[in-house]
Amino acid sequence: MPVEIIRTVREMQKRSGLIRTQGRRIGLVPTMGYLHEGHLSLVRLARKHADVVVVSIYVNPAQFGPGEDLDKYPRDLERDEALLDRENADIIFCPSDSDMYPVGYASYVNVEGVTGTLCGASRPRHFRGVTTICTKLFHAVNPHFAVFGQKDYQQSLVIRRMVLDLNMDLDIVVAPIVRESDGLAMSSRNVYLSGEERRDALLLNQALRMAEERIKKGERNAVNLIGAMHDLIAAGRHTKIDYISIKDPDTLEDLEHIQDRALIALAVFAGETRLIDNVIMTV
């Protein structure tokens, strides 16, 4: 069966109700489209555990800040459709802006606490947009589980918090980061990079690998590690560091000393393009 496209919330809800009546399990992969191997790895994971795999494709205005790349964000539904066909996805849910944000729209879901740091500090309304759209997608698709990528680690934490707090009846599955062969974390935004920026972008992963090595060799001091990563990345001609942080992976509180689990997360501009990457270490 070729992948089917559903374009309205109402139709998606009807279909989802029918699927549930049949006792079949729905897995959702929420995306903004322009799919790459990272997304497809999430689809494959969903395929393993669901009877019906729904991939939502919606470039959500509410999670872009003023001056961010909403307008130029890459879109290609035909290409996405072909890719999802090959992965045996069942349904593409791609609602319209007017269906998602009707006239007079005024409702937002906000998670406090874990949204105040890292990407939430750099992008003030970003997570409010993410939690709101995920709530809407969950209500439209009514999945048994939804799959998110670890590249957006903070996002996955925020969504887990929201699901727990608001009694949403679904499981959140987080899948590992998928990288290009040279180590760059896959992202739809990588298409923005020039050749030189693309080379500098490798510094993100290199810095994470360096920190990982040093921790394995016994370094426990976060300031030292961050300093070394900073120096490595700042040496790039096109890089501008937004943040490099070492955090408790559950609370996102800064760690001074690494003793158990640590999230090493960074956001760096390569030229105009903001890239993020992270690793979770257990010592």
Query: 270 to each of 34, 189, 196, 202, 275, how far by Cα in Å?
Result: 20, 11, 9, 10, 7
Residue 209 structure tokens: 């690998």
Looking at the chain, how many residues does it have? 283
Quote the crossing angle between the two packed helices 195-216 and 222-234, to the nearest 10°: 160
Shortest distance, CB of residue 92 to a second copy, whole angstroms? 17
Nearest CB to a second copy, comparing residues 158 and 279:
158
Shortest Cβ 135–a second copy spacing (Å): 6
Q: Which amino acid is at 192?
A: Y
Q: Are strands 52-57 and 171-175 parallel, antiparallel or unpaired?
A: unpaired
Dist CA 135 CA 28 (whole Å): 12
Nearer to a second copy, 107 or 181 (CB): 107
- Tokens 């890459």 locate to 74
* Least distance in angstroms from the C-beta of 227 to a second copy: 31
Closest CA to 149 of 113, 115, 184, 185: 185
Lay out the sheet containing 261-270: strands in order across.
239-247, 261-270, 273-282
Q: Smallest gap, in angstroms, from Cβ of residue 32 to a second copy?
A: 18
List interacting residues with a second copy (CB under 8 A): 9, 13, 17, 20-21, 23, 102, 104-114, 131-132, 135-136, 139-140, 142, 161-162, 164-169
Q: In whole angstroms, give the CA distance from residue 182 to residue 202.
A: 7
Q: Which of 36, 39, 144, 257 is catalytic?
A: 39
Residue 250 or 256: which CB sits closer to a second copy? Answer: 250
Instruction: Kindly provide the b/e burial profile for residues 56-78, where b requires at least 16 CB atoms within 10 angstroms of the residue's own CB.
Output: bbbbbebbbeeeeeeeebeeeee
CB-nearer residue toward a second copy: 107 or 259:
107
Distance in Å, CB of 175 to a second copy, minimum: 23
Q: Which is nearer to a second copy, 18 or 235 (CB)?
A: 18
Minimum gap (Å) between residue 85 Cβ and a second copy? 26
Q: How far apart are CA 118 and CA 6, in angstroms?
A: 35
CA atoms of 158 and 221, how far apart (whole Å): 27
Smaller CB distance to a second copy: residue 131 or 190?
Answer: 131
- Based on the residue annotation, tell me whether 126 is a catalytic residue of this protein: no
CA distance 186 to 177: 8
List the catalytic residues.
39
